[in-house]
Amino acid sequence: MVIEKVNMTDRKRVLPGKLLSSSVGIALLLTGCGGGGGSSDDDAGVRGTIEIAAGTRVDGDYADLWAASDESWPSGSRDTVSVPVPSTTGGYLSDRSDTYANGLGYPLDQEDSYAVSLVEGDRYFLQCFSATGADADTLKASLVLNLDGNRIEIEDACGGGASVNASGSATFTISANDGGPFRYVLSIAPKTSLSALDVSWPEPPLQVDQAIVSGSAAVANTLSSSGLRASSVMELERAIGPDTWQVRRKPGVSALSSVSDGGKDARAETIEWIREMREEFGLKAEPNYRFTLASVSPETNDYFRDPDFWNLDQINIVEAWGLSGGSWGQGVGVAVMDTGMFTTTPDSYSNWHEDLVNNVVNEGGILDFVKPDYDVDGQEGPDGVPGTPVTPDNPEATSFHGTHVAGIIAAEDNSVGTVGIAHQATILPYRVLGVGPLGGEDGTGAVDDLIAAINSIVDDRNDVDVINLSLGGLPPVVDLQVATDRANSNGILVVAAGGNSGDASAVYPAANRRVVGVGATTRGGELASYSNYGQSVDLLAPGGALNDGIVNAYGQVSATGSLSDSYAYLAGSSMAAPHVAGVYALMKGVSDSLTASQFRAQLIAGLLTNDSELSDYTLYGAGLLDAREAVTNVTAFPTVVSAWPRVVELSPSGTERRVLMEVLKQSSAADPLVSGSPDIPGAFTLTDDDGNPINVNDEIPEAVRISVDSSAVPDDRPLVEEILIPYSNGTDSFDLRIPAYVQAADTSGDRDAGRHYVLLLDANDFGSSRSRQVLASYNDGRYSYAIDDMVPGDYILVAGTDLDNNGIICENGEACAEYPETGSRQVISIGDQDLQLDMTTSFQRPTIAEMGLPRYGFRGYPVPGHQAGTRPDRSLGE
C-alpha cells in the first residue's frame, strides 16, 4: 500500500490555479467503488475535459482491457497499432499469467506490434517498468524492427534504442521473454526533436538534508538568528559564493509530508523541507544535486597506435600550430574542474603525470573542493591538494578522468605519450568529483562544491582564463547559472560537456546561458551515437566512438596500490569539451587581448568552425571545431547577437517562448540595429517583450517572444523552421538565427492513452469517504468526465491509466494527468458552484524545469474498487 500522512496545519485554502503554502503527495488507498459520502443537499461538482497530448497512442490489448472484458481479450485487439512520428506509446506485456499480491490478475501477453512510416534519422527508444516492483534488470524483452525489407533485432531491448538509417514503412514488434508483467513506453521521434525520451518521473541524485540558499546578507542573518523560525529548521554549513550558502537540515526536523511504501523517502523529505523554506520562510532554496563526469570507461590499449592523434588531425591542429608563431598557449591558465590530477603521491602537491608535470601550476589555495561525503583522500573536505586518491577497497575503479581531460588540453610536447592542443598552457587542477556514496570511484560530485569552486576562481584568482567542465547530468540550478555568469563577466570562458544521452535534451551546465556546450564526433567525423545535440550543444569537437576513443594521459594502480603513469582511451563529450578549451588557450597565447566574449562572438559568426555535413545550426550550432580557422581569426571581434535558449521548442497547441538577447561587441563599436525585415515563417509570430513587432532600424531588444499558430502545424511530421533577424552596426552584418521546433499537431482523432480513471481526492485525507472516482468517457481523441454532488472542501484532482491492472494509475509507463499541470498538482476548493477543470494526459513526464522541484518516491495513485472486491464500471461507451 502506498501511504502518505499529510500535515495540513496552517494550509491555506485556494481556488483553482492558486499556489499552496504546503504540498500534498501520494494517496491513501481509497475504499468503495465510486467514493460517496455526499448528502442529498450536495449539488456542487467538477467536470471537464482531458486532452491527450499529441502523438500519444496505446497498446491495443493492455491488461486493464482484459480485466474489463470478463477475463478475455476484446475482439480484434491484437491487431497492429498504427503510430505517428513523433509518438509516445504505452503498453503492457507479460511472459506469464498470474495474480499480484493484492489479488488482482494479470494476463499472458507476449507480443505487441506497431506500424509507422519512418524517415532516415528518426530514432526510437524502449523503456520498461515492472508491474510487480521487481528489479528492472529481471525484465527480458526483445524488439524487432522491420524497415523497408530489412530486419533489425535487439535482444535485451529495455532501456535501449537507436537511429534508423533508411526511410520507409516499418513495423516494431516487442516481445516479453522473461520477468513477469511489465509496462513499457515506445518513443519514436525525429532527430530534430528536442523532447527528452525519458518517460519516468525525474529523480536526479541529490544530497539528502542539504540545500543551497541564496539572497541578500539579510538571509544570513535570518538563518543565524535563533529567534526566527527559519533557524529552527536549518543550519549554515558554509558560504559557497556571494550571498550563497550551503545549508543543512537540523537533526530531528520533519518535513511537511513523507512519501514511500509505508515509510519515509529521505529524498522526498528533503524536497518538502526545501519547499517549506521557499513557501513558509520566503528563502531562495534549491536542492544540492549530484553530478557526474561525462565519459565512458577507458578502453584497453589493445588498439593503441603511436602516435594516434586522429582527434588533432580532425581539428587541423598542425596548421593551427604553424600559424601560432610558436606560442602554444604559454601563459594561459586553464582550470580543469574534474576528478583532480594523477600524481604518484596523492597527499602532496607534486609528482604529476610525466606528460603534464611541467604545465601544472605550482601555487597554493583551495583546489580540492570535494565534500566529506565523497572524499577519500585522507583529508576530508576542501584542501589545497587536488591529487586523485586511490579508491579504498577498489583500487582498479580509481578514475583519472581529470588527467585525461587535462592531457587533451596541455600534454607536453616531449618524447613520450601525447601532445596537447595548447601544450605550453598552464593547468590548474581542481577536484570537484570524488567517490560516489555507494562505493567505487565513479566521478560523482555535489553541485554546491562546483559552485564554490567556480566562485573561488572569480574571487581569489587572476590567473585563470578558461574553465573546463567535462561533467554534467544536472537539471537547471539557478546558483550554478549565477556562478558561470560571474565567471563570464570576469572574462573567464566556461566550456562544458554537451551530454551523453544521445538526444536533444538539455543538459546542465552545458545548456546554461553563456556557457559553451560541446557535442562529440567520431574518428570518421560523424556525430557520436551517444552525443547530445540541440540546446546543450553550441559546436562539436572530437569525442570518439564507444569502441574507438581518444588516447591521452591516465594513471595505473597496481594490485598493491602503487601508482604509475599510464595512457588510456576514453570517449564522451567529456573528451570533446577540452578540445574547445585547448583551442581557446592556443588562441589566447597568440593574442593575449582575446576575451571570452570575443571568442563567443567568433563562434556565433562561424569563425571557429568549418563547413561540413555537421553544419546544421539547429542540431549542432556552429558545427565542427577547426583550430586553423580559429587561430586565423583570433583578432576578429565582430558585433553579433546571441540568443538563449539557442533552440526554441513550442507545443502544437500554440505556446509562447521568451528568448533572451545579448549583444557581443567591442566597447567602441556601434550598437547593432535591425537592418531588414525579419524572416518569420508563416506559422510563427515574433514580437518584443511588449508585444510589438520587430521593425527595421529598431534596436535589438533585450528579449523577444515567439509563438506558433496551431492551425499551421502539420499533422504528420514536426515543424522545424528558423526565424532570422538581420542586423548590422554599419560594419558587421549578420542574421540572428533562432531555430524553432514544434511537435506534429496530430489532429486526426486517433490520440489514445487508454482507459482513464479520474480521482477527486480529499486533500486532508485521501482515504476519506468524500473522495470520489469515475471513469472518463472517450470520444474522438479526448476524454470527458463529471463528478457531481460533492461535499464542499479541498480536493486533489488526478487521472490516469492502469495498463497493467495492478490497481495503481500514474506509475512510470502509464498515462497521467494532474490538475492544473502534471507534476505540479494543487489543491482546489469546491464550494456551492460547479467547476470546469481541464487537464492534459500523456505517457511523458515533465522536466524538473517544468515542475520546479523533482518528485521522489512517487509510485502512483491506487484506484478504488479493486481492494473492495468489486470492479468499477470500465466502459467507455464503445
**Catalytic residue (choose from 59, 61, 122, 338):** 338
Q: Rounded distance, CA 830 to CA 834, Å?
A: 8
Q: Residues 771, 830: contact at Cβ < 8 Å?
A: no
Q: CA Rg, the chain, in Å?
A: 28
Strand 81-82 relative to strand 87-93, pairing: unpaired
Place of cell 559564493: 241
Burial class (CB in 10 A: 0-12, 13-18, 19+), 695: exposed
Q: Rounded distance, CA 501 to CA 478, Å?
A: 23
Q: Rounded distance, CA 166 to CA 357, Å?
A: 50
Place of cell 520477468: 179
Place of cell 518528485: 855
**Centroid of chain to Cα 589:** 35
Q: Rounded distance, CA 871 to CA 878, Å?
A: 18
Q: Rounded distance, CA 471 to CA 432, Å?
A: 10
Read off the C-alpha cell for 335. 582550470
Read off the C-alpha cell for 485. 555568469
Query: What residues have CB less than 8 Å from 15, skipping those under 6 apart?
Result: 828, 829
184 three-class SS: strand
298 three-class SS: coil
Q: Rounded distance, CA 594 to CA 491, Å?
A: 9
Q: Residues 446, 207: contact at Cβ < 8 Å?
A: yes
Reported as type and span, the H/E element at residue 93 is: strand 87-93
Other CB atoms within a 10 A radius of the CB of residue 825 amount to 22
Question: Is 574 among the catalytic positions?
Answer: yes
Burial class (CB in 10 A: 0-12, 13-18, 19+), 618: buried
Q: Rounded distance, CA 256 to CA 877, Å?
A: 42
Question: Is 338 among the catalytic positions?
Answer: yes
Within 608-764, strands assigned E span 609-610, 624-625, 640-644, 648-650, 656-664, 673-674, 684-688, 703-708, 719-728, 733-742, 757-762
Read off the C-alpha cell for 633. 581569426
Cα distances (angstroms) measured from residue 817 to each of 18, 551, 651, 874: 18, 48, 17, 18
Q: Rounded distance, CA 776 to CA 803, Å?
A: 15
750 three-class SS: coil
**Catalytic residue (choose from 195, 258, 401, 536):** 401
**Catalytic residue (choose from 22, 574, 768, 842):** 574
Residue 803 DSSP class: T
Q: Residues 707, 692: contact at Cβ < 8 Å?
A: no
Q: Residues 246, 479: contact at Cβ < 8 Å?
A: no
Read off the C-alpha cell for 121. 534519422
Question: Is 401 among the catalytic positions?
Answer: yes
**Centroid of chain to Cα 114:** 28
Asked whether the bond before 509 is cis by omega within 30 degrees of 0, the reply is yes
Q: Rounded distance, CA 185 to CA 816, Å?
A: 13
Read off the C-alpha cell for 130. 515492472
Q: Which residues are catalytic?
A: 338, 401, 574
